[in-house]
Amino acid sequence: MIFEISRTILHYGLHFLAPILLGYLFWRKNWKLASLLMIGTMVIDIDHLLATPIFDPNRCSVGFHPLHTVWAALIYLGIWFLPSWKLKAVAVGCLFHLFTDSVDCYLGGLKPNLTLTMSCDKNDFLSDLNEVLPINSGYQRSIERKLLQ
């Protein structure tokens, strides 16, 4: 129960308070407007209206809703390269929104395979390699030999 409350506070804190900090850090001269623009990117949650039910606490938004996909993230990243600081603030807001939702999915156990850290353990890598490449493939064996040297 306390974990769920903490998770909710973290989630909405990242959605509404972090943009203020980001606005101040990156656009100090216009931090108030930048912060409002980033908070305004919450509008991408409109894609929840396309789902049934609209809100499901056991569903991860990332990868499910159209404006929460990798393709949408690539568009947000593209917007960041446009010359306007206002558009950059919108892009940062959208990307940070996806990050916030990803953290929530991870903490909720909805995406247990979402990796926030990298493992350097060779055995862990080899077990992942078995899932990707067919077992006993020549390419897999050559990679394993190089890793185990």
Cα 89 from Cα 146, distance rounded (Å):
45
The secondary structure of the chain in percent helix, strand, coil, rounded to multiples of 5, reads 70, 0, 30
Prediction pTM value: 0.71
Asked if pLDDT for residue 118 goes beyond 80, the answer is no
Per-residue pLDDT of 9-31, as tens digits, reads 998 899 999 999 999 999 999 99
DSSP 8-state symbol, 29:
G
Find where tokens 């950059």 sit.
88
> What is the pLDDT, as a whole number, of residue 141?
53
Per-residue pLDDT of 40-89, as tens digits, reads 999 999 999 999 888 887 888 999 999 999 999 999 999 999 999 999 99
Identify which has the larger pLDDT, 131 or 81. Answer: 81
CA 113 to chain centre: 13
